[in-house]
Amino acid sequence: MRPFVVVVLLASACAPPSGPLAKGWTPREFLAKRAETKPLFGGWAPSELLVVEGQPIPYSTRTQGPGEGLPVFPGVSESRAIGFVITDIWQDHPQPWIQPVWMSSSRETPATRRPGVANVFPVGLDSTFYSPWWRTEFVPIDEGEELTNSKQVIDRGAGVDGPLVMCPFTSRDSIDVAAEAGGVRHPLTLKLLNGGVKAKGYVDGVLHQYLDFGPGRAQWHDQELDAFDLFVFTKAGAALPVATVWPADPARHGFLTRVEVPVPGGAAFFVPSNRADLKKGLEGLAPDVDAALDAFPEYALRLARNPTCFTMPTFPASCDWLDTQAKVKVLPGQKRTTVQLSAAVLSEVTP
Partner 1 sequence: MRALLLVAVLPLAASAQDDAGAEVEEVVVEAPEDEANQGYSPDESQAQDPIRFTGYLDVGFAKATGNGSSFRSNDDRVPLDYGNDAFAPAVNSRGEVASTDSTGRFTNGFLPRSVGIGSTPSLLLNTLSADVRVQPRNVPVFLFARLQLMPRLLPTGDVTRVELQQAFGRLSPFKAHEFAVFLGRFDSVFGIEYLENEANLRLGITPSLTARYTTGHGLGAKAFYRLQVASLWSAFSVNVAGTTNGTRIEALVPVSTSLTGAVVGSARLGYELNLQKVQVKLGVSGLYGPRNDVRVGTARQLAIAGDLRVNAFGFSLAGEVLRLIDERGAGALKVTGTTQAELASGFQVMGGWARLGYTLPFTSPAFTGATLYVRYDRRHGQFEGFTELQTDRLTGGVRVDLFEVLALKAEVLLNRELAGAPLVDNDVFTSSAVFTW
List interacting residues with partner 1 (CB under 8 A): 8, 11-19, 21-23, 92-94, 97-100, 122-130, 135, 137, 149-151, 154-155, 157-159, 204, 223
Q: What are phi and psi of 225, to 5 degrees?
A: -80, 145
> For 91-101, b where at least 16 C-beta lie within 10 A, e where not — what string?
bebeebbbbbb
Distance of CA 189 to the CA centre of its chain: 19
Identify which of residues 5 and 326 has a Cβ nearer to partner 1 in the complex: 5
Identify which of residues 153 and 303 has a Cβ nearer to partner 1 in the complex: 153
Shortest Cβ distance from residue 301 to partner 1 (Å)? 33
Identify which of residues 1 and 158 has a Cβ nearer to partner 1 in the complex: 158
Identify which of residues 85 and 123 has a Cβ nearer to partner 1 in the complex: 123
Distance (Å, whole) CA 57 – CA 12: 46
Shortest Cβ distance from residue 212 to partner 1 (Å)? 20
Distance (Å, whole) CA 184 – CA 179: 5
- Under 8 Å between Cβ of 296 and 272: yes
- Under 8 Å between Cβ of 271 and 307: no
Strand-pair category, 120-121 with 80-91: unpaired
Identify which of residues 98 and 192 has a Cβ nearer to partner 1 in the complex: 98
Q: Which helix (H) or strand (E) holds 151?
A: helix 150-155
Identify which of residues 83 and 122 has a Cβ nearer to partner 1 in the complex: 122
Shortest Cβ distance from residue 156 to partner 1 (Å)? 9
Shortest Cβ distance from residue 187 to partner 1 (Å)? 33
CA distances from 45 to 36, 175, 239 (A): 7, 18, 10
Distance (Å, whole) CA 203 – CA 150: 8
Shortest Cβ distance from residue 94 to partner 1 (Å)? 5
Helix (H, G, I), strand (E, B) or coil at 52: coil
Running DSSP on this structure, what letter comes out for residue 348?
A: B
Distance (Å, whole) CA 180 – CA 165: 27
Identify which of residues 139 and 282 has a Cβ nearer to partner 1 in the complex: 139
